[in-house]
Amino acid sequence: MVRLSLAAASLAALLVVSPAAAFVAAPNKQSTVRRSMVAAAPLSETSTSFDLDAYLMSKKAPIEAALEASIVSVGPQTEKICESMLYSLMAGGKRIRPVLCLAAAEMFGGTEEQSMPTAVALEMIHTMSLIHDDLPSMDNDDLRRGKPTNHIVYGEDVAILSGDALLSTSFEHVARNTKNVTPDRILDVICRLGKSVGHVGLAGGQVMDLQCEAKGDATLDELRWIHTHKTATLLEVAVASGAILGGATPEEVAACQQYALDIGLAFQVADDILDVTASTEDLGKTAAKDLVADKTTYVKLLGLDGAKAEAKRLVDEAKEALAPFGDRAAPLIGIADYIIERKN
């Protein structure tokens, strides 16, 4: 088992899809020695000495620096919107999506230089979704990551435009700043990012969520569809994009996507559990909001114990998908365990 004694604290300290077969794997001189999906190393053989805490902390400064440098005002005319964008982008958070992207790239011999622009783009898209989710017309929340939400500080109009600007800037950032990666792989990443936000991604999942909320109930299948697209999709793209940038084959990308889909759903199940077990202070957002609103959640449909069992099942399945990669998957396996052990 990957050591997790301080993992939750480390991630808190960060406060910080086209089909795989659609792209042709380009040669990667860094990854020519490890092309086998047959000789899978059992999960029990994954190194027990891997220090997840140290790994996470090693990513903190580079990620934060890259995020801060990604939004620069070009003059007084753009100062307000850039300030609003940075207010939410730099408001903290676990930075799980950037870390997943960097870890997946490293698993296949990629470098931080190759994957950091996409890691930044993922956090831009995630931040956009939070700004928009918090709006009065959506979840109507006034607290995010322990701070007033963007529209409370800057107004609804600027908040909406800041989210729009973060989304469009994310694609530009990948296209302009990704180095030492073949164009076909960069294009594949951009396509996946775009799809993750569309009608079969964040937007589609959010609309389905609103529809189910309006009718006052949802089935388990509907709930899984919502969170496969609203929550898991961006995590899936984070891991798949990192793998692509690192030189993975289509088969290896598919294994990474399965892992990410599972942890994405587990992440939402864990969120539903925390909504009824954690405090507002611990969460950094309003606790028990879904419970008070009688919103359909995994806890409501499965019960607390059933939701915990489902989260564990998903994480076990996620780790099994990474079995072929042995010790190289240690950071991703550690993050999977963290997802259901976190306190916020």
- In tens, the pLDDT along 71-128 reads 999 999 999 999 999 999 999 888 999 999 999 999 999 999 999 999 999 999 999 9
Q: Is the pLDDT of residue 219 over 70?
A: yes
CA end-to-end distance (rounded Å), the chain: 22
Q: Is the pLDDT of residue 18 over 90?
A: no
pTM summary value = 0.82
pLDDT score recorded for residue 179: 96
pLDDT score recorded for residue 288: 59
Distance, in Å, from the CA atom of 102 to the CA atom of 100, rounded to the nearest integer, reads: 6
Q: Is the pLDDT of residue 158 over 90?
A: yes
Q: Is the pLDDT of residue 35 over 80?
A: no
Tokens describing residue 128? 């956009």
pLDDT score recorded for residue 232: 94
pLDDT score recorded for residue 295: 77
The residue among 50, 181, 190 whose CA lies nearest residue 105 is: 181
Q: Is the pLDDT of residue 317 over 60?
A: yes
Residue 124 CB partners (closer than 8 Å, separation 6+): 70, 89, 166, 167, 169, 170, 173
Of the given ranges (33-42, 47-56, 192-201, 296-305), which has the lowest mean pLDDT?
33-42
- How many other CB atoms sit within 10 Å of the CB of residue 214? 7
- How many other CB atoms sit within 10 Å of the CB of residue 157? 9
pLDDT score recorded for residue 290: 62
More confident residue, 242 or 39: 242
Residue 321 CB partners (closer than 8 Å, separation 6+): 255, 256, 258, 259, 262
Q: Is the pLDDT of residue 244 over 90?
A: yes
Burial class (CB in 10 A: 0-12, 13-18, 19+), 199: exposed
Q: Is the pLDDT of residue 229 over 90?
A: yes
The residue among 146, 64, 54, 68 whose CA lies nearest residue 98 is: 64
More confident residue, 171 or 278: 171
Distance, in Å, from the CA atom of 159 to the CA atom of 143, rounded to the nearest integer, reads: 14
The half-sphere exposure of 149 on its side-chain side, counting CA atoms within 13 A, is 26
More confident residue, 81 or 27: 81
Q: Which residues pair with 148 in a beta bridge?
A: 143
How far, CA to CA in Å, does 248 sit from each of 24, 92, 115, 185, 242? 10, 31, 13, 10, 9
Query: Under a CB-based contact definition with an 8 Å cutoff, are residues 336 and 6 in contact?
Result: no
Q: Is the pLDDT of residue 3 over 70?
A: no
pLDDT score recorded for residue 14: 44
pLDDT score recorded for residue 225: 95
Q: What does the mean pLDDT of the chain come to? A: 85
Q: What percent of the chain has pLDDT over 70?
A: 81
Q: Is the pLDDT of residue 25 over 60?
A: no
pLDDT band at 46 (very low <50, low <70, confident <90, very high): very low
More confident residue, 168 or 18: 168
pLDDT score recorded for residue 325: 97
The per-residue pLDDT for range 133-155, each reduced to its tens digit, is 999 998 899 999 889 999 999 99
Tokens describing residue 139? 């979840």
Q: Is the pLDDT of residue 24 over 70?
A: no
User: What is the mean predicted confidence (pLDDT) over 242-255?
Assistant: 98
The per-residue pLDDT for range 254-312, each reduced to its tens digit, is 999 999 999 999 999 999 999 888 777 666 666 656 655 667 889 999 999 999 999 99
